[in-house]
Chains A and B, each alone.
Chain A
Amino acid sequence: MATSWQEIFDLGSRANENGSAAAEPGPARRGVFRRLRESLSKSRQALTEEISASLFDRIDEETWERLEEALILADAGAPTTAAVVERLEHEVESGSVPADGVAVRDRLIAILAEVAATGWEPIDLSAEPAVLMMVGVNGTGKTTTIGKIAWHLSKEFGLSVVLAAADTYRAAAAEQLETWAERAGAELIRGEAGADPGSVAYDAIGAARARGADVVIVDTAGRLHTQTDLMDELAKVRRVIAKQIPEAPHETLISIDATTGQNGLRQAQIFSEAVEVDGVVLTKLDGTAKGGIALAIAGDLGIPVKLIGVGETLEDLRPFDPEDYAKALLAE
C-alpha cells in the first residue's frame, strides 16, 4: 500500500476540516489517478518493476557479488552496499532467514526499506502559518518541486499558500516560480533581482501572517555545498525566518537529483549542517537512475526521503514509499 498524501503531511488541527475533501475520490480525482497510471505505463517503468527474480535463484558467493554490483550500479555507494549485503549474508548464514530465493528477496526489500525510512516523520505543516524551506544544489528541481507541493496543498487540501521567491540570484527564477504560483493558485512574494533573499522570506512570512495564510514555502537559490559563503547566506536566511516565527522554518527539505552519485551524501550533510534538513525530495526518478544515494543519506545521516519526483506534470510529485522504492531499486 503506497504512502498517501494524507500520511505525508502533518496538518495539525487543519487535517479534519480539509483532509476529508482530498480523501474523497470525486470525479476530478479519478482523472488524476488515470493520468498517473498512464504516465507510469509509458516510460516510467523504473518504479514499477521489481528486483529481478533471478538474482536469488541460487544462493552462493556469486549471488552476493551480483547483489553488490546491482547496489553499486544503483548509486548506493560502497559503504552502504557492503553493510546491506553483509547483513543479509549474515542473516542467511545464521539461518534466521531461510536460504530460499523468495525469502531472501523479501528480506532484502525489508532491509532496504528500513534503511531508506530511517528517521521518517511526516512533513510538519501543523503550525499556522507553517513555513517550509526548500534548499539544494543548482538544477536539482527546487522550484519545480515547490510548484507541485503548492499545487497539492492548495488544490487537494484547500490550503492557502504563499510562495517566497528567495532565489534572487538566478536569472528568471522568480518568473519560473510565478508561473507555478499561477498554476497552483498561490500568492507569490518576490523582491528585486539581486535583493537580499532573507528579506524576501521575511516579507513573505509577514504577508502570510497578516492574511492568515496556511503555508509559506520559501524557494532559495541553488548553490553548491562547497561554496562556504553561499552556505553562510543560506544559514542567514534561516535565521531571518526565525525572526518572524521562532520555530520556523518548521520543515526544511533538500532536493537531490536521483542521478546524483556519491556526492549526494556530501550535499545532504553540508546542507544539513547549515540549515538542519528534515527530509529529502528525490527528483527525476522517472529516468533510469535509481537514486540509491538516498539509502546512504538516510542510513548515514538519518535524513529520509519524503517525496519523489517522477515526471514533469503536477501529479508527478508523490509521497515516498520505502517499500515500493526498495522493490524498484534493484529492478533490471
Chain B
Amino acid sequence: MGSLKKLVNLPGFNNALSSMVAIGAGLLFGLIILLVSNPAEAFPGFAIILKGGVSTGAKGMGQVLYFATPLILTGLSVGFAFKTGLFNIGASGQFIMGAFAATYIGVKWTFLPAPWHWLVALACAALVGGLWALIPGLLKAYLNVHEVISTIMMNYIGMYLANFLVKSSIYDSKKALSMNVAESAVLPKAGLDKIFFNRMGASGHIDLSTVNCGIYIAILVAVVMYIVLNKTTFGYELKACGYNQEASRYAGINAKKNVVLSMVIAGALAGLGGALLYLSGAGGRHIKVVDVLAAEGFNGIPVALLGLSNPIGIIFSAVFISHITMGGNYLQTLDFVPEIIDIIVACIIYFSAFSLILRNLLPRFLKWRKSLKHDGEGGNSEREGGENR
C-alpha cells in the first residue's frame, strides 16, 4: 500500500495516467460517433479500431511500427521545439523536404555502396529538414517574426517545391509516384522481417511487413533527445530560453542562437522522419504529387501533446496513434464510409491530445476525492504542474 502511494505521487506516473485517461476519453467519443453513424455495426467496428494492426496478424503489427516511425520523429520535432518555447507547426514542410532529399539521393546517387547510401540519404534529409526550419528560426530570432506564421508558410512552400522537384527529377509517370529508391538505399530489415510477416494460403507465400530498422533509429533518436534535454548543459540552456528568454540572456546564454538551433534541430528531426518513411523499397511509401500537406507532420502535434513533449512518452503515443489509424483503415471491411472513419480517428487523436489539460486536472480531482473521504483531516499536496527533470 505504501509503495503504491509512492508510485501515485511520482510526477511520471501522474503524467502517464493523464495520457491514459485522455486516450480513454478519446475512445469513448469515437464509440459515440460509431453509434450515431452506424448503430448496428458500432461495437464490432469499435473492436476493430481497438485491435488496430493486430487484426492482420504479425504483418499488421509491423505496419503499425512502420507508420509509427515517422510519427515518432515529427512528434519529437514538435515536442522538442515546445520544450524550448517554440511552436513548430512546420513539421509537415520539413518532413516532405527531408523525404524528397532522401528519395532523390536514394534514386540518383547509386554510386554509393549499401550502408553508406542510406546513411548519406538519412543525413542529407536531416540536413535539408534543418535548413527548412532555419529560415523561420532566423526570422524569429532576429526579426521577431512569430514562428507559427512562418512555419505554416514554409509548409506550403515545401509542399509545392517538393512536388515540383519530384516531377522534374525522380518522377515515375506510369504510377504517378516518385521512383523506387535503389536497393542500396533501402533501410535494412535488421531482423524485423523474421518477426513481422504473414504466411499466405497453402503455398506458404510470405507476405512481409514494410517495417525496417527505421523504428530502431526512431527510438534511438528519442532516447538521445531525452538525454540531450534532461542531462546536458545544452538542454539546460535550451529549456532555460524556452521558459524565460530574458533571464537566460541575463545569465549569459546566447538566446538568439539557441532559438535558431532549436528550430534547426526540430526541422532536422522532421526531415529525418521523412527519410525513414520513404526509404523503404518498392513495397513502401512513395511521394505522391498531390497538393496536400503531409499528414505525418501535423500528426506530430497530437503525438507530442499526448506524450506531454517527453521524448520517451512520444514513442508510445506515436505507436498508439499509428495503431488507431490502422484500425480505422480496417473499418472499411464493415459498412462504414471512409470519411466517417477519418472523422472517428481524428476525434480519438484530438481527444487524446487533451492529456495536457487532464494532467493539471487529475491531481485536483484526486485531492478532491481524498478530501471527501476524510473531510477536515488535512488535505494533501496541491501540485502546481511542476516539470520533472
**B is a partner of A:** no
